[in-house]
Structure 1
Amino acid sequence: MVSRPERLLRGRDVPLSASFLELFFDLAFVLALSQLAQHFLADLSLVGALRTALLLAGVWWIWVTTTWLADWYDPEALPIRGLLVGATLGSLLAGVAIPKALDGRGLLFAGAYVAVHLARGTVTALMLRGHPRQSRALRILTWYSVSAVPWLLGAFLPEWRVPLWVLALAIDLIGPRLGWPTPSLGRARQEELHLAGEHFAERYQQIMIIALGELILVAGLTYAGTRLNLPETAAFLLVFANAVLIGLLYVTPAGQRLGPAIEHADPSRLGVVTSYLHLVMIAGIVATAVGAEVAIAHPTEIGGTTVVLVILGGPTLFLLGRILFSIAIHRRISWPRVAGLLALVGAAVAMRLPLLAVSAVATGVLLVVAVLDRAGIFTFRPARAR
Structure 2
Amino acid sequence: MSSPAARFRLGTSTSGGGRVTPTELFFDLVFVFVVTQVTHAVERHPGWEGLFKGLLPMVVVWWMFSAFGWLTNAVRPDAVGVRILLILAMMAFFVMGLDVPYAFEPEGWAFPVAYLAVVAIHCGVYLTASAPTARRAILRNMPFNAAAGVLVLVAPHLPEVWGWVCWAAAVPVLYLSPFLGRIRGFVIEPHHFVERHALLLLVVLGESVVAIGIGAESPQGHAVDWPLALGVILGIAAAAGLWWVYFDGDEVRAEAAFEKATEHRRQTLAYYAFTGAHLVMIIGGHPRRGGHHRRHPPLRRPGEPVVAGLGHRDLPGRTRRLPRHAEERPDRRSRRRSGVRGAAGGGGVVRGLGRHGRRRGRADRDRHDRSPPGLMRSGLPRP
Quote the residue 2:170 is aligned against. 168
Quote the residue 1:195 is aligned against. 188
Q: 8 Å contact 1:10–1:73 — kept in the other structure?
A: yes
Quote the residue 1:271 is aligned against. 270
TM-score normalised over the length of structure 1? 0.67
Q: 8 Å contact 2:133–2:186 — kept in the other structure?
A: no
Quote the residue 1:8 is aligned against. 10
Task: Please state how far the C-alpha of 1:146 moved relative to its aligned partner.
Answer: 3.3
Q: Distance in 2 between matches of 1:55 and 1:130?
A: 32
Task: Please state how far the C-alpha of 1:72 moved relative to its aligned partner.
Answer: 0.9
Q: 8 Å contact 2:69–2:197 — kept in the other structure?
A: no
Task: Please state how far the C-alpha of 1:57 moved relative to its aligned partner.
Answer: 0.4
Quote the residue 2:315 is aligned against. none
| Residue 56 of structure 1 pairs with residue 58 of structure 2 | yes
Q: Which among 204, 210, 222 is matched to residue 217 of structure 1?
A: 210
Stretch deviating more after TM superposition (225-234 or 151-160): 151-160
Task: Please state how far the C-alpha of 1:279 moved relative to its aligned partner.
Answer: 0.5
What SS is found at the alignment partner of 1:106? coil
Q: Distance in 2 between matches of 1:91 and 1:224?
A: 28
Q: Which runs of 5+ in 1 are unaligned?
A: 182-186, 299-386
Q: Which among 241, 246, 249 is matched to residue 245 of structure 1?
A: 241
Counterpart amino acid of 2:187? H
What SS is found at the alignment partner of 1:193? coil
Q: 8 Å contact 1:195–1:263 — kept in the other structure?
A: no
Q: Distance in 2 between matches of 1:58 and 1:121?
A: 17
Q: Distance in 2 between matches of 1:5 and 1:162?
A: 45
The structure-2 alpha-carbon separation of the partners of 1:145 and 1:231, relative to structure 1 and needing over 3 Å to count, comes to closer
Q: 8 Å contact 2:134–2:186 — kept in the other structure?
A: no
The Cα offsets for residues 15-35 of structure 1, whole Å up to 9 and x where unpaired, read as 522111111111111211111
Counterpart amino acid of 1:114? L
Equivalence map 1:77-226=2 (5 Å)? 77-125=79-127, 127=128, 131=132, 133-157=134-158, 159=160, 160-176=162-178, 178=179, 181=181, 187-189=182-184, 192-225=185-218, 226=221
Q: Distance in 2 between matches of 1:175 and 1:163?
A: 18
The Cα offsets for residues 292-347 of structure 1, whole Å up to 9 and x where unpaired, read as 224xx57xxxxxxxxxxxxxxxxxxxxxxxxxxxxxxxxxxxxxxxxxxxxxxxxx
- Number of aligned positions between the proteins: 286
Quote the residue 1:234 is aligned against. 230
Q: 8 Å contact 1:143–1:171 — kept in the other structure?
A: yes
Counterpart amino acid of 1:238? L
Q: 8 Å contact 1:39–1:99 — kept in the other structure?
A: yes
Quote the residue 2:346 is aligned against. none
Quote the residue 1:286 is aligned against. 286
The Cα offsets for residues 220-258 of structure 1, whole Å up to 9 and x where unpaired, read as 112233522232222222212221122112223433322
Task: Please state how far the C-alpha of 1:14 moved relative to its aligned partner.
Answer: 9.2
Q: Which runs of 5+ in 2 are unaligned?
A: 297-383
The structure-2 alpha-carbon separation of the partners of 1:131 and 1:170, relative to structure 1 and needing over 3 Å to count, comes to same
Counterpart amino acid of 1:221? I
Counterpart amino acid of 1:91? F
Task: Please state how far the C-alpha of 1:166 moved relative to its aligned partner.
Answer: 2.3
The structure-2 alpha-carbon separation of the partners of 1:251 and 1:121, relative to structure 1 and needing over 3 Å to count, comes to same
Task: Please state how far the C-alpha of 1:139 moved relative to its aligned partner.
Answer: 1.5
What SS is found at the alignment partner of 2:293? helix
TM-score normalised over the length of structure 2? 0.67
* Structure index of larger Rg: 2
Task: Please state how far the C-alpha of 1:12 moved relative to its aligned partner.
Answer: 4.1
Task: Please state how far the C-alpha of 1:48 moved relative to its aligned partner.
Answer: 2.3
Quote the residue 1:73 is aligned against. 75
Quote the residue 1:23 is aligned against. 25
Structure 1 vs Structure 2 CA RMSD? 2.7
The Cα offsets for residues 354-373 of structure 1, whole Å up to 9 and x where unpaired, read as xxxxxxxxxxxxxxxxxxxx
Q: 8 Å contact 1:195–1:267 — kept in the other structure?
A: yes
Q: Distance in 2 between matches of 1:53 and 1:231?
A: 29
Q: 8 Å contact 1:5–1:128 — kept in the other structure?
A: no
Q: Distance in 2 between matches of 1:79 and 1:264?
A: 34
Q: 8 Å contact 2:37–2:100 — kept in the other structure?
A: yes
Task: Please state how far the C-alpha of 1:148 moved relative to its aligned partner.
Answer: 3.4
The Cα offsets for residues 56-106 of structure 1, whole Å up to 9 and x where unpaired, read as 102211220011110011211233222321221111011101122222543
What SS is found at the alignment partner of 2:229? helix
